[in-house]
Amino acid sequence: MSQSKFTISFLLILFITGSCNCQTLLGVESGVNWTSLRSSNQEAGGDVNCKSFPSYYFSFEIKGRKSKHIHFGSEFSFYQSYLNVQGTTSGHFPDIWNVNFKYETLGIAIFPELSFGKTVQFFLDVSPYFAFLIKSAKQGTREEWNTGGFNYITENETGSAKGDFFTFSMGFQETFGIGYMVKPWLQLSIKETGILGMLPVFSLSDSYDAKAISLLFGVSFIIPKQQAKETTKPFLSKNISQ
């Protein structure tokens, strides 16, 4: 319980820190995510093949004023990764895996964004990325060598996959997208988001980093700039004239 509270508090602090200055664009996005694994040690024993299947991705964004070409923002994301892992562990009699994994991740990115255009806007950002494992599950089989019978025994791999994944990871995230201003207060967008992990997320005979690519569609709402100050001008002018 204490670890969960610490994780939630840490996420909230990061999210508020990255979003407190001049944030006037609020956006929600959803789309499709593909995740794959890559070994951080190419000389490690064992052999793992990973096949990626499409899954969901949701995010909430807060960004700075669009009148500036460079502004800060933050993204709070929740997405699922769906993988089929086939492989073997190291050793003379390796375990043989054929397991489907699904794991859900809570992520946060804090970034400077570069944007151009008015009605049609192009935007690009690169940022550090922090990921926290929320839930995981597996379904498949594992063949294990039986030293007593000199044969392989097939065991079912079902239930939680918490022991196969690390609870925290980090890396870099890049985003490129196009937005269209339907109204002065409403923007529709499509973007590509890529994630490159720098810390391992999965462990079999070796540790594996994650890399992911997502295609997202979004809608953003723009808060008017300095609306409170503008509404006070007629009142002040009237008093002065009197």
For residue 197, the model assigns a pLDDT of: 92
What pTM, to 2 d.p., does this model score?
0.77
pLDDT value of position 166: 92
Q: How confident is the model over 29-47, as pLDDT tens digits?
A: 999 999 998 876 554 445 7
- Residue that the structure tokens 């009197």 belong to: 242
Report how far residue 200's alpha carbon sits from residue 171's, in angstroms, rounded to the nearest whole number.
Answer: 10
**pLDDT: which is higher, 233 or 176:** 176
pLDDT of residue 66: 54
Can you spell out the DSSP letters for 152-195? EEEEEEEE--GGGB-SEEEEEEEEEEEEEEEETTEEEEEEEEEE
* CATH entry, 2-241, from 3.40.190.10, 3.40.50.10740, 2.40.110.10, 2.40.160.20: 2.40.160.20
> Are 210 and 197 a contacting pair, CB within 8 Å?
yes
In the block, tokens 């097939």 appear at 154
Tens of pLDDT, residues 77-93: 999 999 998 887 766 77
Measured distance CA(115)–CA(57) in Å, rounded: 23
Instruction: Spell out the domain ranges in the chain.
Output: 2-241
